[in-house]
Amino acid sequence: MIEEAEKGFTLRSRVLFIDASIYHSNNFQFLTKDLESLTRLLAAGQVTLLLTSITVAEVKRHLREQAKEAASAAQSFQQKGKVLRNIPIFEKSIMFDGVNASEIENQLVEGFYRFLSSENVEILSVDIASADQVFENYFNVRPPFSVKKPNEFRDSFVLETLKVYAIDNNVRIHILSLDKDMEDFCKESPQLIWSNKLGEVVNAVMHSARTLPAAFADQAYSVIKADVFGMVQEFLDEQRFGILDEVENGVQSFSVSIENLRSVNQRVFAADHTFAKYGVDFDIDIIVEYYQLEPVNPMVGLPRDYVDTYKFKKRFVKTVEVALALGFYEGDLESVEIEDWDVHLPNGDILWDYECEETHRTKAFEF
């Protein structure tokens, strides 16, 4: 898990979706308070904000309605409060200037678009959502549909779009909404995490630093390190190590044991916030014991084909190369999985002379 910023809340993703209900509850103040803090975090690359084309249209509709209400309220005040013009302090007040709903709407929408132009903001088309899935949820009365709210098609398309995005990009998404139907949908979708408080999410991001991808890749490897050792050991158990031309060289009773498997080199080939290509080299000691017949110079009274038998014990060092593809949710070490791997023995299973580190040679029989 990424960071526990305050009791009861854990930041589990740096990808956010903010529903129109949250913008509305924050009075569409895109350039102040929590939304201002969010804009700074977006600019710093600490978080990604998702919207859908439906959400953008919904916010613009709300701004249009708010502009009309504000203009109407201002005009009503001007009419009912016109007596205030007789007081010097109010005589030239802007409260009595002309108010135009279209102008208010234009300025509000302009502020919204400035917010959307922030770095790391993505607007998703709901075309990626499955209409079949939306209607299946509808006919089976599954969230966000319910008996009391049977026409939640807008939210359904938004949520299905976010779910597809999360799966395709291997991310979790914090869904910020005041809509309980969205909460119910998120409970059935492990990729989507519901919250109704923008402030606690922004605060959690503010109090946690984003780990560099390469640094997190090292941490991710430490989580699955034991599994990788097991994979290498299993690979080695399947090998048949031997010396070149054993039979031709008179090698007999050949035995092999593998000892001291150790990691000698770890490196990151590539990394982003949800994936890493990782390389690890392992050295192993291969202990071999065998007998070998060696011809000797003819001695008086001995046949010309006389041979000595020697016992050899050698230690070879071989390197095993492992390439790993690791998948995870950003910042979540508990989610690390090995998605693919390759275990390779660059020099094969032949024990070459240049790989030999120690040799013990003793005569097997003395006369």
* Per-residue pLDDT tens over the stretch 295-323: 666 555 555 566 778 888 889 999 999 99
Beta-bridged to residue 284, according to DSSP, are 318
For the chain, the structural domain boundaries read: 15-209, 213-366
Residue 17 binned pLDDT confidence (cut-offs 50, 70, 90): very high
Neighbours of 116 (CB within 10 A): 15
* Per-residue pLDDT tens over the stretch 141-183: 999 998 888 889 999 999 999 999 999 999 999 999 999 999 9
Query: CA–CA separation, 284 vs 321, rounded Å?
Result: 11
Amino acid at 117: S
Residue 280 binned pLDDT confidence (cut-offs 50, 70, 90): very high
Residue 202: exposure state from Cβ atoms within 10 A (0-12, 13-18, ≥19): buried
Neighbours of 284 (CB within 10 A): 19
Q: What is the DSSP letter of 128?
A: G
Of 361, 356, 247, the residue nearest 311 (C-alpha): 361
Pick the more confident residue, 318 or 2: 318
Neighbours of 141 (CB within 10 A): 11
Looking at every residue in the chain, the average pLDDT score rounds to: 87
Is the predicted pLDDT of residue 218 greater than 60, yes or no?
yes
Residue/partner pairs of 128-135 with CB below 8 Å, 24 or more apart: 128/161, 128/164, 128/165, 129/157, 129/160, 129/161, 129/164, 130/160, 130/164, 133/160, 134/160
Within 8 A by CB and 6+ apart from 322, the residues are: 228, 231, 232, 279, 280, 281, 282, 341, 342, 343, 344
Is the predicted pLDDT of residue 283 greater than 60, yes or no?
yes
For the chain, state the CA radius of gyration: 35
Amino acid at 330: E
* Per-residue pLDDT tens over the stretch 7-16: 558 899 999 9
Looking at mean pLDDT, say which of 22-36, 42-56, 74-88, 283-297 comes out highest.
Answer: 42-56
In contact, 290 and 312? CB cutoff 8 Å = yes
**How distant, in Å, are the alpha carbons of 56, 88, 122, 140 from that of 154?**
12, 51, 19, 17
